[in-house]
Structure 1
C-alpha cells in the first residue's frame, strides 16, 4: 500500500438506514480485520417479553415512532430506540441494526 492510498477501514460511509423489507445485509471490513454486517432491510425481529422472560421471533408490522429524528420517523427508518408494531404488541428496539445486522426489541 502506497503512501497516498487510503486504508479500506478508514473510508467514510453514509449511515446505514435500516428499513422494512425483504431481509438484506452487506459486509463491511472494519478496523482490526473485523467484519460488520449492517442490515439494510429487515422483516423479522426478536421480541423479549420481560414479564414472562420469553423471546419470540415475530414479523414487523409497522414503525410507530423514531425518537432519533422526525425525518427517520417519516421514512420509517429503524434505529435503536425506535418503537415498532408487532403481533405481540409495541416493542422498543434495543439493538443497533445499522451496526449489528440483527434486530432485537423489548415489549413496551
Structure 2
C-alpha cells in the first residue's frame, strides 16, 4: 500500500481542512527497506526526471575510519552491537545510520 506524505486532513485542534485538490503522485512515499548483513544487494528506484535512487538491501563490508592514524579501511561486518533507532534491530542484524557494528 502506498504511503501518502501530503498535508493532513485534520487541523491541530481536531477541525477539518477543506480539500483544495486531490492527492498527487509526487506526494507518495515508499515503504522502508531494511539493510541486512550479507552479500551486497542494491535496489534501484526511478525518481522524478528519470533519475535514480539506490537503496542497500544487504551489505557485507563497511568503510571504517581509524581516527588516530586517519586511515580508512574496508572491513567485513560481523554483527550489529547496538542500534539506538530500535533495539529489535540488534537481534535482526539490521543496519541503519548510527548503528554500532562489530567488524573483523
Taking the TM superposition and a 5 Å limit, the aligned residue runs for 1:57-96 are 57-87=74-104
CA distance in 2: counterparts of 1:30 and 1:48, whole angstroms: 32
CA distance in 2: counterparts of 1:25 and 1:11, whole angstroms: 22
Number of residue pairs aligned between Structure 1 and Structure 2: 83
User: RCO greater where, 1 or 2, for CA within 8 Å and sep 6 or more?
Assistant: 1
Matched, 1:25 2:42: yes
Please give the secondary structure, in 1, of the residue aligned with 2:75: strand
Cα-Cα RMSD = 2.1
Long gaps (5+) in structure 1? 88-108
Long gaps (5+) in structure 2? 1-21
CA distance in 2: counterparts of 1:29 and 1:40, whole angstroms: 16
Matched, 1:47 2:64: yes
User: C-alpha displacement at 1:16, in angstroms?
Assistant: 1.4
Question: TM-score, normalised on structure 2?
Answer: 0.69
User: C-alpha displacement at 1:53, in angstroms?
Assistant: 0.4
